Structure 1
Amino acid sequence: MGKSLLVVDEVLGLVSGKVLRFDDVRGYGFIAPDDGGEDVFMHANDLRDEKFLFTPGTTVEFDVVEGDRGLKATGVRVLERGPTRSAGPAGGADDEVMCDVLSPRELMQELTEALLEAAPTLTAAQIVQVRQRIAKLAHAHGWLES
């Protein structure tokens, strides 16, 4: 009779950091530890607070485990809420909004994936046209890394 092998993640300790991004639809995101090092993966199943609280810039505390796919956060809890977007143009110039800044290549990858999910019947030529127009718009507004 064969033996089963149980793989247990190694707990590395309690850490604090800031949420870089969290996709509450897909249920995962990444945290930048305060002490530096590589970003830590977080999954919705490991959150102690409601998913909507995990916005970019939110300070969190979590245990880090070394798994077979890299560092993973467990028992993630909010310490301090991150900045929130203002409801409209009434927001002042002092409102700091944290967001991902993508490279042009990352934008094209994200955009292609979103277009294929939203409208799978688009042709390759249509996707290229939309991507080119959005890239011009993003460059004009400084939404991309240089």
Structure 2
Amino acid sequence: MPTGKVKWFDSKKGFGFVATDDGQEVFLPSSALPSGVTTVKPGTRMEFGVAEGRRGAQALSARILEKAPSIAKNVRKPAEEMAVITEDLIKLLDGMSNDLHRGRYPDSAHGRKIAAILRTVADNLDV
């Protein structure tokens, strides 16, 4: 079976393309992905069957060999730094929770700070 790397895949459109190891481009429909897989990231190594369709080579029954390397994982903050950020976030959320119990939302400047910290924590955890 041929192998290659995903060039791109759009789960909304339901297809993408794989570049085979010998340089050929192969159409990758979502129906060729393994069961339970709805999307693949560029750079994911796959093994797949190939059939000639109306518009050229098309992947059949793809199997993921190796997931794409995570760029976010390589640039995320050290765990010790995230511990400090998380502790600060807990303090901010606790204060905001008390205000919400009193019927007051945080002012927009305070709300932006909390949202920025939440995004930072989420980005560093979701890799």
Q: Structure 2 length as normaliser, TM-score? A: 0.54
Q: How far did 1:28 drift?
A: 0.3
Over residues 111-146 of structure 1, what are the superposed CA-to-partner deviations in whole Å (9 max), with x where a residue is unaligned?
xxxxxxxxxxxxxxxxxxxxxxxxxxxxxxxxxxxx
The SS at the match of 2:28 is strand
Indicate the structure with greater helix content: 2
Match of 1:24 among 2, 6, 11: 11
Question: Which amino acid counterpart does residue 23 of structure 1 have in structure 2?
Answer: D
Match of 1:47 among 33, 47, 50: 33
Over residues 21-71 of structure 1, what are the superposed CA-to-partner deviations in whole Å (9 max), with x where a residue is unaligned?
00011110000001223x10011111115123x110000000010111111
Q: Structure 1 length as normaliser, TM-score? A: 0.48
Identity percentage over the alignment? 39
Moved beyond 2 Å, runs of 4+: 87-92
Distance 1:34 1:45, change over 3 A: same
Say yes or no: does 1:69 pair with 2:82.
Answer: no
**2:89 equivalent in structure 1:** none
Over residues 77-119 of structure 1, what are the superposed CA-to-partner deviations in whole Å (9 max), with x where a residue is unaligned?
1000012241796369xxxxxxxxxxxxxxxxxxxxxxxxxxx
Distance 1:63 1:55, change over 3 A: same
CA–CA distance in structure 2, aligned partners of residues 30 and 91 of structure 1: 33
CA–CA distance in structure 1, aligned partners of residues 54 and 42 of structure 2: 26
Superposition RMSD in Å = 2.2
Q: Any gaps of 5 or more consecutive residues in structure 1? A: 1-13, 93-146
Say yes or no: does 1:86 pair with 2:72.
Answer: yes
> What is the aligned length?
77
Higher gyration radius (CA): 2
